[in-house]
Structure 1
């Protein structure tokens, strides 16, 4: 599977990507929102100009009454604010809608992660509401609020 965005390519992460992705997740700007995953298996590497700059993953609810997909993404801080996160989320969202048949997608950043929220809004995600004490900060153990955002297939920009 290879998905081509305007600037990025998404491809399955390999064992060779693990060291790079682990380094990215340890960057202070990324670690503020992401805890190091046990494995990068099942993630898609985000590739820009031949360089792995982060990863994106998705999950799918298969119950036909509640079928939808969720997305999570992280990029190296060096490329924050350059439109690559938006391109990544949009590329995966289009695939989930067009190829996997989802009518609704969700994403759930920390409520304080204004840069991520702005990025997702550019793709068409809309705020649904605050999920109080939704996730634990892996660095401090404190609970943080999350923002539930969703995107309907016909709203995808």
Structure 2
């Protein structure tokens, strides 16, 4: 399959009062919160077999993309475009693992008295893979989750056969925990107490 063309640069949302409008900066990448204006781009990406090869493996409809990946699930799920040299090269998200489905993430953490935790997902455009962008974007997310949001733990579950993705997460500081029944590999990043979000400790199962 020939590589998909890399789209042109997109806008950045105006800063807002909350996390939904805060860009995250890595050394090679910038993560910009997704808006409804990015639907055309995301719909093209998620309709491509090459893009979703390790994201469920099935192209998604425009309606599915709009419902899941344009910011409509905030604050439970925060969605980002991954930029490199000001051009979008991928999609990333983090999501809260809260005790109750209807509980706001911040309220859930306050109720339990424990720092929040959750998961990260990321997929890069085929032409952007193998350039160190994935680990860089992951580190930017981890700095935000551990520093600004004071998370305790983050997990990822790449397909165990996707060795490139597994290596990328490990380069970002994740450590393998276990294989899941669905054939994925669970990796985790545990933030140290009073973390500034820079480097975490990784514990085994």
C-alpha distance in 1, partners of 2:133/2:94? 17
C-alpha distance in 1, partners of 2:164/2:89? 17
Q: Hey, what does 1:41 align to over in structure 2?
A: 70
- Deviation digits for residues 92-117 of structure 1 (CA, Å, limit 9, x no counterpart): 11100101111211001111111110
2:151 to 102, 121, 136: 102
Secondary structure at the aligned position of 1:38 is classed as helix
Matches within 5 A, 1:18-37: 18-35=39-56, 36=60, 37=64
Q: Hey, what does 1:148 align to over in structure 2?
A: 186
Sort the Cα spacing of 1:156 and 1:29 in 2 relative to 1 into closer, same or farther, 3 A: farther
- The structural deviation recorded for 1:49 is 1.2
| Alignment pair present for 1:10 and 2:31 | yes
1:54 to 70, 90, 105: 90
Conservation of the 8 A alpha-carbon contact between 2:33 and 2:81 = yes
Whose strand fraction is larger, Structure 1's or Structure 2's?
1
Bigger drift between 68-77 and 21-30 goes to 21-30
Q: Hey, what does 1:90 align to over in structure 2?
A: 139
Q: Hey, what does 1:118 align to over in structure 2?
A: 167
Q: Is the radius of gyration larger for structure 1 or structure 2?
A: 2
Q: What is the alpha-carbon root mean square deviation over aligned residues?
A: 1.9
C-alpha distance in 2, partners of 1:75/1:120? 13
Matches within 5 A, 1:58-77: 58-63=94-99, 64=112, 67-77=116-126
Unaligned runs of 5+ in 1: 135-144
- The structural deviation recorded for 1:85 is 0.8
C-alpha distance in 2, partners of 1:6/1:123? 13
Normalised TM-score (structure 1)? 0.83
